[in-house]
Structure 1
Amino acid sequence: MASIETYYVKGELTKSGRPRDADRRYMVRYRKPDNKSTDKRGFRTRREAEIFLHAKETTKHRGEFIDVSAARSPIGTLGEHWLATKVGLKPSALAPLESTWRLYVEPQWGTRPVASIRHSEVQQWVAELAAGTATTKHTKPGTRSATHVIRAYGILAAILDVAVKDRRIASNPARGVELPRKAKRAHPYLTHSQVELLALSAKQHGTLVRFLAYTGERWGEAVEQRVMDLDMPRRRTNVRQNAVLVNGKIIVGTPKNHEARSVPFPAFLAEELTAQCEGKSQTQLVFGSGDAHVRTPSTRDGWYRAAILRAQAADATFPRLTLHDLRHTAASLAVSSGANVKAVQKMLGHASAAMTLDIYADLFDDDLDAVGTHLDAARSQALVGISWVRSA
C-alpha cells in the first residue's frame, strides 16, 4: 500500500528542543508495477506529496508508469543488451551493426542516461554525421553516406524503442528526426557482347563472370556452389547456401531470405561448368580449387578491377560496375529475353514480385508501352461485329 510519511531535515531546534515546522518534509512510499517498494522524498507540503502519489497511481493504472531509477540507465549498457538480442541475424548483417555501434553510436551516446536524450540533440547528431562534422576518437571528419547515417540513427532509435517498452522513458526522442535521403543509383546493364568482353578480360575467372551475369546469383551464392548443386540435364543450379566474408573469415549460411531456390542457366554455360567440375567430388566447390572459396577481389587492385579496365580500354562505352551489378545485368538480360516479373523474382530470390518491380521498374517500361498497343488491338478486334451491325 502507498503511504505518506513525515520527516525532518537537519536544522535548528526550537527553544523547546523540537524541530522547526520549516524543516518538515514529506516522503511518499509506493510500489512500482513489478511490486517492488520505492519512495520519493523532499516534498515541502502534504498536498505536493498527495499530488505526486496520485499521479504515480494513475500512470500505473494506465500502463504509463516510468521507473525513475531505470531512466538513469546509460545508453551504453542498453546498447550492449540490444546487440546481444540480435542472435537471429546472419553474421553478415550483424557485423555492420556492431561496427556502426562501436564507431558512431556508443562514443556519442554511451554514457548518457536514457532519459536525458532530447529530440533536438538526435537531429543535430544526424545532421553532423551527414555533413561530415561529427567525429569521435575512432573516426575522422568526413561526409558519411546516407546508408551509414541511417544505420547509425536506426541503432539509436531501436535502443530507445526498447527503453519505451521497458517503461524507462515515456516516448522515443529519436522518432520524427529528418534523415538524409539515399540517392538511387542508376543500374548499369551490360549487353551480351559486353558480358563476353568482360569475361574474356577476366581471363581464368571468365566462367565465373558469365555465371554471375546470366544467373543473377549473389557473389556468396555463386562461390558456394557445389558440384552436386548443378543439374546439368535441366540446366539448373540449386542455391542452398551462401558464403560471406565477415571480418576476414568466410562464413557459410543460408541464402539471404533463408530459402533455397532453383536458378536456370543458358545451355552455352553447361560445357564451361562441366570443365570447372572436372576431377572434383560432388561436395567440392564448382569455382576455384574446389576446397577453398574464391575470395572477393579487391576493389583497388583485384582481378575484377583489372578486367574492367581491360574492357574499358577495348570499349570506350563500357560502364563502371561492381560485381553485384552483374546481378542487375542478369535481370536485364532475362527481361529482354521475354521473362516476366514473376520469373525474374524467382530467379533472383527476391521476397516478392513487388520488390523486383521496385528495383527494376525501368526494365519493364517497354511492357507498359506495349499495354496501350495491345489494348487498342484487342478493342479493335472485339468491336468488329458491333461496327458491322451499326453499318447495317
Structure 2
Amino acid sequence: MATIEKYLLNDGALRYMVRYRKPDRSQTKKKGFKTKRDAEVFRATVEVDKANGTYIDPAKANVTIASLGPSWLERKQTLKPSAYRPLEIAWRVHVEPAWGKWPITEIIHTEVQAWVTKLSIGDAKSTPAMKPKSATTVIRAYGVLAAILDDAVKDRRLQTNPARGVDLPRKKKKAHVFLSHEQIRDLADHAKYPTLVRVLAYCGLRWGEATALRVQDVDMIRRRLSVNQNAVDVGGKIKVGTPKSHEQRSVPFPEFMAPAIGELCKGKHREDLVFPNPDGTYLRHIDMRERKSWFGSAVIDSGVPRVTPHDLRHTAASFAVSAGANVKAVQRMLGHSSAAMTLDVYAELFDDDLDGVAVALNEAVSRMNVP
C-alpha cells in the first residue's frame, strides 16, 4: 500500500511525498506535493491505474519526441527506399524542428491541431513567411508524429495518443489526362526515346519498371514484357528493387511496336538494359548533360497537354478499356494490388459499362413483353 510522508525543503517549506510500488513490485516515489490532499489524490490515482492495468511508469514517460523519432525511423527502413525517403524528410523538416524538444507527456491535442493548421495555411508571422504546405505534405508530417506517439502508447509511456482525432486537410484529386493515339504519335515523334514513350503509353509500365527492363525480359514471340524490377531515383541515386506491388507480372505490347523493340534488343546481351543511358546506366527523364528534361521538351515541342511519364499510365488504362478490357485485365496490366484499387483510380473509364447495364436490362424486359 502506498504511504504518504512529510519532508521539509531547505527554506523550511512543508511538502509531501508518496511512496508506492509499481506493477513490477519495485518501489518508487513522487515528491513535491504542497498539500496532503494532493498527495492523497495522487496515491488513489496510482492504485486505480494499477488495478485497471493503465498505470504509466513516470520514468518511461520522461522522454522527448527527439529521443523516440530516430528509432521509429530506423524501424521503417524495411520499406522501399522511395517510400522511406518521404518519411525521413517529413521527420527532419517538419516534425523534429517543431516537436523534438517536447516531452511526450506535455503534448496536448489542441497544440497538434494548431501545428497542422499552421502547416496547411502558412504562418505570416514567421520570417520569412512560412508558405502553406500541400495536403500530402501536411498529412505525411502529421502521420509521422502520430505514429511515434502510437508507439509510445504501445510501450506504456502514454495512456492515449493526443494527436489522434485531429482535423486534416483534404487531398485534392488530380484530374487524369488521357492522350489520344494521335497525340501519343506526336509525342513519340518529338522524343529522344520514342519507343520508350510508346511502351509507357500502351503497356502502362511505371517509369522505373520500363527503365529497368533488360533484354531477357522481352519475349518477342509472345510479345510480352516481363516486369521484374523497378529502378527508382531516390535523392539523386538509382535504387533497384521489386515492382511497387512486390509482384512480377507479364504485360503484352501491340504488334506494331515489335520491330522497334526488337531493334533495341538487337546485338545486346541478355542482361543489358533495353532503354539505357548512352553510358549504359539507368535512364533518367532528365538529361544530366544538358540539365533539362528530354521528356518535358518533347511535351512542349509536340504541343500535347502537359503530362509526366507517369501520366502515360492513365492513357494506357484508357486505351485498354476502350479496346474492351475489363477491370481485372487493366489491374493486371498496371500492376495494381487489387481490382478495387483500379476502380478507385479509373472509375470514370468504366462509365460506359453502367450505360451498357441499363441497355441490357431494357432489352431483357422488352423481350419478356414480346408476345
Q: Same fold (TM over 0.5)?
A: yes
> SS at the partner of 2:83?
helix
Aligned to 1:201: 190
Matched, 1:189 2:178: yes
Q: Which string of whole-angstrom CA distances, capped at 9 and with x for unpartnered residues, describes residues 199-257 of structure 1?
A: 0010x300000000011111011100111111121111111111111111111111111
Matches within 5 A, 1:1-392: 2-4=1-3, 6-10=5-9, 23=14, 25-43=15-33, 48-133=38-123, 141-202=130-191, 204-288=192-276, 289=278, 291-297=280-286, 301-312=292-303, 318-381=304-367, 383=368, 387-388=370-371
How far residue 173 of structure 1 moved from its aligned partner, in angstroms, is 1.5
What is the number of residues matched between the two proteins? 368
Over 3 Å counting, the alpha-carbon distance change for 1:130 and 1:234 in structure 2 is same
CA contact (8 A) 2:4 2:39 kept: no
Give the AA of the match of 1:170: Q
> SS at the partner of 2:306?
coil
CA contact (8 A) 1:108 1:136 kept: no
> SS at the partner of 1:310?
helix
CA contact (8 A) 1:103 1:136 kept: no
Over 3 Å counting, the alpha-carbon distance change for 1:265 and 1:41 in structure 2 is same
Aligned equivalents of 1:321, 1:44: Cα separation in 2: 68
Q: Which string of whole-angstrom CA distances, capped at 9 and with x for unpartnered residues, describes residues 273-296 of structure 1?
A: 111111111111111258311013
Deviates more, 1:81-90 or 1:356-365: 81-90
CA contact (8 A) 2:226 2:248 kept: yes
Aligned equivalents of 1:214, 1:239: Cα separation in 2: 15
Task: Report the TM-score, using the length of structure 1 for normalisation.
Answer: 0.88
Aligned equivalents of 2:30, 2:17: Cα separation in 1: 6
Give the AA of the match of 1:335: V
Q: Which string of whole-angstrom CA distances, capped at 9 and with x for unpartnered residues, describes residues 4-31 of structure 1?
A: 1534314799xxxxxxxx84x5432223
Aligned equivalents of 2:125, 2:223: Cα separation in 1: 53
Give the AA of the match of 2:313: R
Q: Which string of whole-angstrom CA distances, capped at 9 and with x for unpartnered residues, describes residues 286-336 of structure 1?
A: 112583110132798310111001111xxxxx3111111001110010000
Q: Whose radius of gyration is greater, 1 or 2?
A: 1
CA contact (8 A) 1:125 1:134 kept: no
Aligned equivalents of 2:137, 2:22: Cα separation in 1: 40
Deviates more, 1:163-172 or 1:173-182: 163-172
Deviates more, 1:121-130 or 1:329-338: 121-130
How far residue 136 of structure 1 moved from its aligned partner, in angstroms, is 8.5
Aligned equivalents of 1:126, 1:50: Cα separation in 2: 38
Gaps (5+ residues) in structure 2? Answer: none
How far residue 379 of structure 1 moved from its aligned partner, in angstroms, is 2.5
Over 3 Å counting, the alpha-carbon distance change for 1:136 and 1:214 in structure 2 is farther
How far residue 337 of structure 1 moved from its aligned partner, in angstroms, is 0.4
Give the AA of the match of 1:330: A
Gaps (5+ residues) in structure 1? Answer: 14-21, 313-317
Over 3 Å counting, the alpha-carbon distance change for 1:136 and 1:233 in structure 2 is farther
Over 3 Å counting, the alpha-carbon distance change for 1:230 and 1:268 in structure 2 is same
Aligned equivalents of 2:77, 2:126: Cα separation in 1: 28
Deviates more, 1:332-341 or 1:160-169: 160-169
**What RMSD, in angstroms, separates the aligned Cα atoms of the two structures?**
2.4
Aligned to 1:19: none
Aligned to 1:18: none
Aligned equivalents of 1:308, 1:151: Cα separation in 2: 31
Aligned equivalents of 2:96, 2:283: Cα separation in 1: 35
> SS at the partner of 1:85?
helix
CA contact (8 A) 1:27 1:42 kept: yes
Runs of 4+ in 1 over 6 A off after TM superposition: 134-137
Task: Report the TM-score, using the length of structure 2 for normalisation.
Answer: 0.92
Aligned equivalents of 1:32, 1:232: Cα separation in 2: 71
How far residue 177 of structure 1 moved from its aligned partner, in angstroms, is 1.2
Identity of aligned residues (%): 55
Give the AA of the match of 1:175: R
